[in-house]
Amino acid sequence: MLVCLILIAILGSVTGLEADKVGIVHMHGFWQAFDEQHHLDFKDFVEEKTGVKVHLIDAFNDLAMPPAESSITPLNVQVPEILKMVKNIAAQYDKIIAVGFSQGGVIWRAMIESWDDHNVDTFISIAAPQSGQAGIPPKYLASLGNLPFVKMAQSQGKTISEADMKLLPYDPRVQQVFAPSNYYRNPVTYQLYLTTDFFPKLNNEVGNKKEKRKQKNNFERLRKLVLIGGPDEETIVPWQSEMFGFISADQNIIPMKKTKFYKKNLFGLKTLDKKNAITKCIKGGLKHNDFPNSSEVLNDCVLPAIQDVLSG
């Protein structure tokens, strides 16, 4: 009888080690809310197919001008606040899968890099400008035009040219109130970009050695990085930014392995690639907001990544 009890205890402990608790934490994008239908579709699909619980982060929703908090709130405010929520969720699990759509993918990368000893196993980045935004989509231009100091200038008869609008995201007044400006990275004005507070630090292009080392170590803790995007994307400029590629000042596309991020291994991208930890899932025929609940994306890109975690 004693032997049986010992065997049961041993087998029980082994089973417990094998049955890792896994949760998925999903962050929405700019101009969106956590309960948009395509995010609810994502949650329903994944939970039905895998049994893994999906947590949709209810924070910084929709679009509201300051001082209200929304998806427009600068990322150096959003990231630490969302990370507090994420850590509470992550504490319930042995491993978590991070999912970020669009701006949410940039937010997730920032959280991973700032989170020591995190338990993020896999990061799924969906249509996110991981190398930055080289241009301003028309719908963003409309939002910039609604900023109070821009409207004031226009009311005083001042003309804001297209060239001015391309420099406007670097203005500190914009950086402090308009989240997409925080990852704006026009290759023609690179030195001006380096003066901004968020994205150059995230990419380890600036900062002290200790902070750079910490961010790189945290990013390199990832077991898998899944990059999802496609060439018919109309919002991310260039779409290759979703694959950690970018565009040069003379408008030539730079693939991931030719970028400075990769060649200098600034934050661990090359390290992950050398470990065969990066999967790129490129899907054509999809517009920006199609990606989160596209059946092709879910079945071909997302589901295999989740099953890989569960089988590990």
Percentage, residues of the chain above pLDDT 90: 78
Q: 282: closest CA among 269, 297, 292? A: 297
pLDDT band of 68, cuts 50, 70, 90: confident
Output the CA–CA distances (angstroms, integers) from residue 116 to 21, 120, 209, 265, in the order listed. 20, 11, 16, 19
pLDDT higher than 80, residue 144? no
pLDDT band of 147, cuts 50, 70, 90: low
Task: Tell me the two tokens of residue 141.
Answer: 């231009």
pLDDT for 11 equals 39
Q: What would the mean pLDDT of 142-166 be, rounded to a whole number?
A: 60
pLDDT for 64 equals 80
pLDDT for 92 equals 96
pLDDT for 152 equals 54
Q: DSSP string spanning 180-199?
A: GGGGB--GGGHHHHTTSSSH
Instruction: Please tell me the distance from the alpha carbon of residue 67 to that of residue 59, in angstroms, as a whole number.
Output: 15
- Encode pLDDT of 269-284 as tens digits: 999 999 999 999 999 9
Highest mean pLDDT, choosing among 7-21, 120-134, 137-151: 120-134
**What angle is formed at CA 46 by the lines to CA 54 and CA 97, rounded to 5 degrees?**
50
Highest mean pLDDT, choosing among 67-76, 171-180, 230-239: 230-239
User: Is the whole model's pTM more than 0.85, yes or no?
Assistant: yes
Instruction: Please tell me the distance from the alpha carbon of residue 39 to that of residue 47, in angstroms, as a whole number.
Output: 12
Q: What would the mean pLDDT of 47-64 be, rounded to a whole number?
A: 95
